[in-house]
Every structure is written in C-alpha cells, then in structure tokens.
Structure 1
C-alpha cells in the first residue's frame, strides 16, 4: 500500500500536465537513446571495419566495442555534473542541455571521415564524440525519471517513472529499424560507404522535436516546493556520499543485471548471430526489433504492476529469471532464426520486469531533495560495472573459451549482485513517509545554489 503524497500535493499538476510530463520524459529519453542505440548497433556491424581496420575481424570488433564502453565510462561525469545541477537549478533546464549535447555528438559522428581518409584522427574523434554522448546520457536518466514521477501520484510512481524506462527499447527499436531499412534498401557496399551515416544525421531532426516538447513544460511541483521552502542542497554530491551511502549501494547494485542482460540481447546478440550462427545482419536485427517492440508495452506494464505488488519482490523474481534464461537461450539459439528470435524476446521480456520497476525503486532510495543527484550517480556508476564492460567481456570470454557457458555464468553472477542490492534497499512506503515528513517540516537551513 502506498503512503501519503508529498511536496507536489502543495501544487498539484492537472491531468494534462501529467500527460505532457509523461510524454516529454518518454519521447526525450527515446530520442537520446536512439542516438545511443544507433551507435551501439553500428559498433557491432560497421565501425570495426571503418574506424579500426585490422586483419583480424575479432580485433576490430573488440576495438569498436571499446568505444561502446567509452559511452558508459563517461556517464558518471554526466551523472555527477548534471545530477548536481538538477537538484540545484531545476530538472527542466538540465534535461534540455542533455538533449542538445547528445544530439550534437550523434550528428557529428554521421559526418566523420573513416580511417581510410583521416587516419588515426578518425577513431580519436569517434571516441571523443562517444564520450560526449555518454556525458549527456549520464545526466538524462535521473531527470527524465523525476520529470514524469514528480508530476504524478506517488501511489503510481512505478508506472509514471517507467516513462523514462521506455526510452531505451523505443530508441533501440527506432535505431535498429532505421539501420535495417537502410540495409534492405542499399547494397552492402553502399551501406558501408555512406548508408550508415543517414541514421546518425537523422538525429538533428529528432532532437529538434524533443526540444520543442521539453521547452513547453513547467518545472516539476517537487522542485518548485524545494525552491519555496529554500531546501535546495548546497553540496548534493557530498550529502549523498555522507548521508545516503546504503541507498547509493542498493541503487547501484540493483542496476547491474538489467544492464548486462540488455547488452546481451540488444548488442552482443548481433555479433553472436552473425559471426557464430552464420545469420545475416538483417535477420539478427529483426530479432532485436521484435523484442524491443514488445518492451515498449511490457516496461510500463511492469511499472504499473509494481505499484500493486511489492516492488522489490517483483524486481527480485525477475532478476532470478535473468540469471537462468541465458542457459536456455544459448542451448536453443543455434536452431535457426525462430529459436533465436524467441530467445531474444523472452530475454528482453525478463529485462522489462526488472527495468519497469527500476526507475521508481532507485528514486525511492533517496530523499526528495537529493533525488536527481543520487539517482544519476547510481545510474552512471552501475553502468561502469554493468553495461560498459559487458560486450567486451562477452566477446573476450567467447574468444578465450570458445563456449557460451562462461557468458551464461557471468550473467548469472550479475543477477546475484542485483538481488543483494534489492535486499539492501527500502520499499516504497518508507520513501513516501519520508516525503510526507519533509513536507510537514522542511529543511530549516536555507541553501543558496552554488555558482
């Protein structure tokens, strides 16, 4: 059962405001993840040959996935920088800045010369732009979660917060769909020569649409209440590390398995299907497209279910399933496209029932005045030990052992880590009671934003 409403009850948003916030959170995050996902797919399919030429295809793939990891390594910088600003100057301003940063970086990747033209400068520029993408995504997630959840009823936080969670599959669906269409319309030489660039250049138009939506929004009721009460934090990063350590640990660990499972079934599966199973690029992308399209509906469903049952229990059961399913997937994936597609769909469905409740669970670990900072730090730091290294480890393990068993064991180990994080965390009712107390007795010491 959910608790009493908090600061937003002082300035309730109407249904139209809630819907706009939900749509802005979903579309803005989807556009940013389109940028991120189109890079991920291109890293698996194109970048090894174009930017990291090598006689050994595996070496080129490893180097391409290294640039994929750079996007995760840079996320903590974005989480620390934009998370802090989100608690000090507001959610809306920060979310506009992150959208511009990611869109500009993605567009520029689309016009980069390849290694054959620019030499070593090409991969260096690619890495720098990937770094910029990661900084933007690191600051985006926490704000997108709060944008929708702070306008909505806390008793439905799981559903409202899931708007931001739909972004990755929606962005992946759009990115892979564009790449699949280009691959079908163009010859192999045309796709490798210039076709892949079209997907990156489309980012300019998409970001303009996202900016138009976000610019029309007001600041969230919770941040307005913090301003009115003069309870904005002066040093939110320091406060999180000194007063919210258990919350930070719980939020970080809970995110590891979802990141790794997602990397397996949307990124590495493309390489596995083409290199190990001998499938075409289009067939591998089609399997991911089917799974991602279902996630667009399953993630908000999972978030809504988590409002009606114990959120941690639903998340934990899904984490256990995540540890088991890869063993089934690898045993059956070599039976053709249908078993592969079914394996991807089930894997992403399991991911949905972790990822749907995740945004609300992470946000509930932190007090309202530190939520942007705490959530962003947890999100980005978890990425370093989860999604950042997963494709590299998958590739290295498969190369070293020539077997899928170490890959499945690795995913199972991350599921254990996530269950530990959930055990450390707290339930929704505790978070809402804290919010109610803060509303009744706001922080007495005024805080001035740091210049």
Structure 2
C-alpha cells in the first residue's frame, strides 16, 4: 500500500496542510445537509461541463468543425465520434489522480482536476472552426474533450461515501439518490443557456459567437464547486473518515487484485440507466435537428421540463429503495426501461407531440433507475477499497453504458431505422438484469461484497 508522503521529512505538502486545516476548523460539525449540498453542487458542475459539450456536439460542431462532411447526418456522426474520448480518458485520469491523492492530498487533487475540467471546457469556447485552421480544429476539439474526461477522473472526491456514512440504516436509498440530483440540474442549466441563444440569435450569429458563452460559464461554475467541496474536504468529519480508512485512495492494481470481478460486475449493474441517459438528452436533440418535428429551441425547453420530471423520479427512487431495497429498485427500473424500449422509437418518430412524450416519460423512467446508480457501483466494496473501487467502477460503467450511446444510436437509427434504438435500450436493460441476478447468486454463495 502506498503511503502519504511525510510532510515532516519532505517539506510541506498539501496532505499536511489539509491535516492542519482540519485541526483549526472551528465552524462546528459539517451537517449531513451541508455534505448533501456540496455533493449536489459538485456533481452539477461536472454534468454541466459534459452537457454543454454534448449539446454543442449536436448544435455547433457539425457545422463549425465538420463542414466538409457530405451530409448533415455524417457531420453529426463525426461529431459524436469525438464524444466518447472523454469516457475513454476518464479511467486514465483516475489512475493518475489517485496517485496525486495518495501523495499530495485530496485538496491538491480536486484543485488540479476541477481547474483542468473547467479549463478544458472553457478552451473550447476559443476554438476556431475548420474554415480557419482546417483539420487542427478537429485535433484541438479531440484534445479538449480528452482533457474533460481526464479531469473528471480526478473529480471523484468521496463525498458521496461520506454522505452514506451519515445515512441511517433505513435511509440508505434516500441518501444514495442525493448525488444523482446533480445530473438533471446540470443538464437543465446547460439546456436553458443553449436554448436562450438558439431562440434569440440568427443561425449565423449563434455559430459565430453565441454558442461560446455556455462554455465560458462552465469555468465559473467549476470554481464555485471547487470551494464548496474543499470546505467539506477540510472538515473534521472528512478527516476522521480518512483516518478510519473509509475514504483513502488505494493503488488501483492493488484494488483490482482483490476486487476485479466486483469492478466488472458493478460496471454492468447500472447499464440500463446509463444507456438510457444519453438517449433522452443528447441523441433525441440530434434526431429532431436532423429529421424535424419541432425547432431545436422548442425541444431544448421541453428537455428542461423533462429534467424537472427526472428530479422527481430520482427523489422517488430514494423513497422506493428504502422500502423494497436497492437491488429490487434497480431491477424494476431495468424492467421498465425494457418495456419503454418498445414504444420509444415510435414516440420519437411521431412528430412534436410524440417527441415531447418521449422526453417527459423517458426522463421520469431515467430518474427512477438512475437515482440508485451511484449506490450500485460502490456497494460491492468493503470500506478499505471503496473509494478507489467505486471510482474505477463508475468510470467503466459510464464508458460502456453511455460513452458511445449517441454515436451508436444515431448510426443505427439513420442507417437502419429509428426502431433500432429500442434494441439498444433493451440490450442495456438485459445487461442490468443479468448483472443483478449474478450479484444475488454471488451473495448467496458467500462471495465478498454485495448490495447493501
């Protein structure tokens, strides 16, 4: 096990400064409410960055970066081909930032990660188009997208685990859903910003400069999130959890030597909700933009309403999970997604009213399933490896379940028909049901880990 550098022997490090900060922290105990707020702000900032990019990959990049594509569909597919680079870079970021965490402290790790995340997103705002610098525009977009993913690998702060430590035994489902609220909030903010500029600017002005403002805003949001999270990281409660080995970063290969099968299993458990994630956010906007039904501005504001419905669904997931258990909640969510997959293609291809129904119903179902996804990826790890195991498992789950979703869904739908997105959704649901069933078998056979 790698140990934290001793500040007495090597000079001041962030680790030592963090311990000093906890000793002098006199603001009183950090309440579960403060931890919850910090978690929501942190997750909201991360999802805002990713959704600003995701919306830009539909509304901006096909025209700005890929104007040489033969058709609008081809341009959007090229744009979506850059999209998964962040999810591919994220596990690499986790590996590097876990080392920084062990040797220089979580405060240093979070500061570097969030400035890199905000900086990568804000840098896209200055990106020239293909008409100005040619294929360098494509290369720079790919570089900044990988920077987003690499940084997100370091944004894992352990606050969700700290929140779980404060959860009463009969309220774990409720506490597990709180971090998930950041996703629909971040998406709603990004959609409102883009919707405002799309609705109020000409297409020429929007492509020339209007789309850049949401990317500027991302950096400011990340700075606010950084201070909100550092306040909790410097708290006595967080320090006590670290000292109890609950939130310590462990070497990834050491963790894999003990929990490789739990990482793989945990990555497939939330696959239904993660596959659904971009099929109600990024993909339908591309379908409406390319094939019609309503304007992009109108659809963006419908998606904001959908995000509000998703928030309600996430909250309900916590209440339901505390009554029937997280495993049963996730199983029910996967079954509902499988059922929805049969009607989803017809709704999305039925004009404006059908598209609105697709978004509202889809977000509600997503909230019910996604609300317990964070608990799913961490529940099979004991406290010693929970922090590192949950981080890597989450990275892989997002990569497998969501990273390629817009590209695959649009590729299938445009080539073979919209009906094929139903097949994509049902495949994710089958993976979740199979993983949950295998998890139950392993638990009954005495394997370590298990849903809690």
Same fold? TM cut 0.5: yes
**1:117-165 deviation per Cα after TM superposition (whole angstroms, max 9, x unaligned):** 1222111111111101112223335634224323444543322232321
**1:263-293 deviation per Cα after TM superposition (whole angstroms, max 9, x unaligned):** 1110110111222234211122122211112
Q: Which residue of 2 aligns with 1:442?
A: none
Q: Which residue of 1 aligns with 2:21?
A: none
- The 1:91/1:17 distance shift into structure 2, 3 A limit, reads farther
Q: Distance in 2 between matches of 1:66 and 1:415?
A: 24
Q: Distance in 1 between matches of 2:99 and 2:312?
A: 32
1:36-435 equivalent positions in 2, closer than 5 A: 36-53=50-67, 54-83=69-98, 93-141=108-156, 143-219=158-234, 224-225=239-240, 227-228=242-243, 235-401=250-416, 403-425=417-439
Q: Which residue of 1 aligns with 2:19?
A: none
Residue pair 1:75, 1:134 contacting (<8 A) in 2 also: yes
The structural deviation recorded for 1:221 is 7.0
- The 1:223/1:86 distance shift into structure 2, 3 A limit, reads farther
Q: Structure 1 stretch 174-183 or stretch 358-367: which is displaced more?
A: 358-367
**1:68-90 deviation per Cα after TM superposition (whole angstroms, max 9, x unaligned):** 11111111112333356557766
Aligned CA-pair RMSD: 2.7
Residue pair 1:37, 1:172 contacting (<8 A) in 2 also: yes
Q: Distance in 2 between matches of 1:143 and 1:233?
A: 9
The structural deviation recorded for 1:223 is 5.9
The structural deviation recorded for 1:180 is 0.2
Q: Structure 1 stretch 125-134 or stretch 299-308: which is displaced more?
A: 299-308
Q: Distance in 2 between matches of 1:79 and 1:51?
A: 29
Residue pair 1:21, 1:151 contacting (<8 A) in 2 also: no
- Normalised to the residue count of structure 1, the TM-score between the two structures is 0.85
> Which of 27, 37, 44 is the equivalent residue of 2:41?
27
**1:58-113 deviation per Cα after TM superposition (whole angstroms, max 9, x unaligned):** 22111110111111111111233335655776655544433222111111111111
- The 1:94/1:20 distance shift into structure 2, 3 A limit, reads farther
Q: Distance in 2 between matches of 1:382 and 1:153?
A: 27
Residue pair 1:48, 1:57 contacting (<8 A) in 2 also: yes
Q: Distance in 2 between matches of 1:37 and 1:26?
A: 16
Residue pair 1:92, 1:217 contacting (<8 A) in 2 also: no
- The 1:55/1:30 distance shift into structure 2, 3 A limit, reads same
**1:28-48 deviation per Cα after TM superposition (whole angstroms, max 9, x unaligned):** 110121111010011011101
Q: Distance in 1 between matches of 2:367 and 2:244?
A: 37
Consecutive unaligned residues in structure 2, runs of 5 or more: 1-26
Using CA pairs under 8 Å that are at least 6 residues apart, name the structure with larger relative contact order, 1 or 2: 1
Q: Distance in 2 between matches of 1:283 and 1:406?
A: 25
Consecutive unaligned residues in structure 1, runs of 5 or more: 1-12, 436-451
Secondary structure at the aligned position of 2:154 is classed as helix
The structural deviation recorded for 1:231 is 8.4
Q: Distance in 2 between matches of 1:89 and 1:372?
A: 17
Q: Distance in 2 between matches of 1:92 and 1:288?
A: 35
- The 1:418/1:220 distance shift into structure 2, 3 A limit, reads farther
Q: Which residue of 2 aligns with 1:449?
A: none
Residue pair 1:86, 1:143 contacting (<8 A) in 2 also: no
- Normalised to the residue count of structure 2, the TM-score between the two structures is 0.85
Q: Structure 1 stretch 327-336 or stretch 221-230: which is displaced more?
A: 221-230
Residue pair 2:330, 2:369 contacting (<8 A) in 1 also: yes
- The 1:230/1:350 distance shift into structure 2, 3 A limit, reads closer
Residue pair 1:79, 1:139 contacting (<8 A) in 2 also: yes
Secondary structure at the aligned position of 2:152 is classed as helix
- The 1:84/1:223 distance shift into structure 2, 3 A limit, reads farther
